[in-house]
């Protein structure tokens, strides 16, 4: 059961599964607890715990992942009884934000690689698409190109614009004019003036809007083999 108002809609940001634990301390009482990360985004996280702090509690959070750590102040914005609590980061210095961004970019690429191995079939097809976003120097761009492959979770394309992993783009089908939001999951090698870029849809089932194609479910036996 949800207790208290949600000050920030967690659905506004793409959430990522991150294998890590967090040390969370109430800044007033100095009470600290160790909790498991349910999901993580650029603006906050969800922590799994049966004893959450009350809504609006100001906390200090320390997340350790391997040899790296991320530290910030955060406010409790939602509480789910016997399940966990949602935190919104309130004060993140540039160095810590860089660490967080790197974790999220790595999570996007890992998710994309996993989906390509097990969750959907890729179709080799050159569909005309329009890609828009912001390039490496902060200038808006719009570029006409073709897909290399498409799937139920995204596409691979060739771009002349310089983009980075985790960057948000808008992908449009030039024929149907359907438009969806994507994230750059992978930036590969250059092919002349073009770079191979893989994008993943921000929301699931967007392929039904963008591609006029059906994707068979993968063979479960192949999924188990890939996962081994």
List domains and CATH numbers for the chain: 2-92 (2.40.10.220), 117-227 (2.40.10.220)
Task: Please give the structure tokens belonging to residue 59.
Answer: 């906390």
pLDDT tens-digit series, residues 61-119: 999 888 889 999 999 999 987 789 999 999 899 999 988 888 877 776 666 555 555 45
pLDDT at 41: 85
pLDDT at 118: 47
pLDDT at 215: 58
> Do 49 and 37 form a contact (C-beta atoms < 8 A)?
no
CA–CA separation, 227 and 212 (whole Å): 30
pLDDT tens-digit series, residues 120-152: 567 788 889 999 998 777 789 999 999 988 888
CA–CA separation, 182 and 170 (whole Å): 6
Q: Report the pLDDT averaged over residues 30-46.
A: 89
């Amino acid at each position: 059961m949800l207790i208290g108002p949600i000050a920030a809609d967690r659905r506004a940001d793409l959430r990522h599964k991150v294998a890590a634990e967090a040390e969370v301390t109430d800044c007033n009482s100095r009470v600290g607890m160790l909790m498991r990360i349910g999901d993580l985004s650029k603006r906050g996280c969800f922590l799994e715990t049966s004893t959450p702090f009350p809504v609006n509690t100001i906390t200090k959070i320390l997340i350790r992942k391997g040899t790296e750590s991320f530290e910030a102040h955060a406010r409790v914005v939602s509480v789910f009884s016997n399940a966990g609590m949602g935190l919104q980061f309130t004060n993140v210095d540039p160095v810590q934000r860089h660490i967080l961004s790197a974790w999220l970019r790595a999570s996007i690429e890992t998710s994309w690689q996993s989906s390509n191995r097990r969750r959907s079939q890729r179709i080799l097809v050159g569909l005309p698409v329009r890609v828009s976003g912001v390039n490496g120097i902060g200038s808006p761009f719009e570029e006409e190109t073709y897909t290399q492959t498409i799937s139920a979770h995204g596409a691979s394309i060739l771009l002349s614009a310089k983009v980075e992993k985790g960057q948000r783009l808008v992908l449009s089908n030039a024929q149907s004019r359907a438009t969806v939001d994507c994230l750059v999951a992978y930036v590969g090698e250059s092919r002349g003036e073009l770079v191979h870029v893989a994008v993943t849809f921000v929301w699931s089932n967007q392929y039904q809007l963008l591609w006029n194609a059906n994707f068979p479910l993968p063979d479960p036996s192949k999924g188990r083999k890939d996962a081994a």
